[in-house]
Structure 1
């Protein structure tokens, strides 16, 4: 009996909507053999983890630097282990960290799927050029995962 591969998917980017939950629910509904990972999506915890664990900083730069470095341990590790990296660019904020994650994943030769609206198309043209698929909805990503894993269309 052959074991089914469990695909590891890293979900990078925007943290202000429920796109991750929609994607995970869609994959679960189709019974896809996937395991999802993500950055810490609690904004306060992500921003303050460094000073909470390692001590306060007088200057905001060093406060942010401690947190960014601690978050990078998680992000780098999970991107390196991922089979596919999904990068979501939201409407409300510029996600510089998501663009960095996409570049890091690209440098590692990872398969990248981006997700954003038409209004970001021009700004993200280089990121999209590195992606193997450019999507607008979690449902499209679920369709891609289903096709890639099973090799057939629904």
Structure 2
């Protein structure tokens, strides 16, 4: 069974690569998609495409809308959405993606450190699985792909 899996969440660690490597090593038919993880390109796409803005609000507003075009399309097309929350920075976009995926009725896997269990309790409650490592995500995908 071929699955489309959208990988949302923090961009400061190699968790996406760990999942991609695990999927490849397991020989799974999984297409991995995700947001633009080039921070500067993501932040500047509005200015680059639609013209520079003088105020930070409008620069961010244009970039957010352009990035949302990609995010909405890829989440809508995904069979499963994986959202990882890291221990650094506030990942408001990841929480938004989790809520959007849940509202669409998408199967949701949430990955985070146990120290984030309390602040993410509502997100975890919407998930079909909550785990701590990329390897656990790969193992869930392997289980889904089992013939028996």
TM-score tier (shorter): over 0.9
Structure 2 unaligned regions, length at least 5 = none
Q: Compute the displacement of 1:77 (Å).
A: 0.1
Q: Compute the displacement of 1:151 (Å).
A: 5.0
Runs of 4+ in 1 over 4 A off after TM superposition: none
Q: Compute the displacement of 1:91 (Å).
A: 1.0
For 1:28, the equivalent position in structure 2 comes to 24
Whole-angstrom CA distance in 2 between matches of 1:112 and 1:10? 10
TM-score, normalization by structure 2: 0.98
For 2:125, the equivalent position in structure 1 comes to 129
Residue 11 of structure 1: SS of its match in structure 2?
strand
Whole-angstrom CA distance in 2 between matches of 1:90 and 1:138? 12
For 2:15, the equivalent position in structure 1 comes to 19
For 2:95, the equivalent position in structure 1 comes to 99
Q: Compute the displacement of 1:119 (Å).
A: 1.3
Match of 1:68 among 51, 61, 64: 64
Q: How many residues are matched?
A: 148
TM-score, normalization by structure 1: 0.94
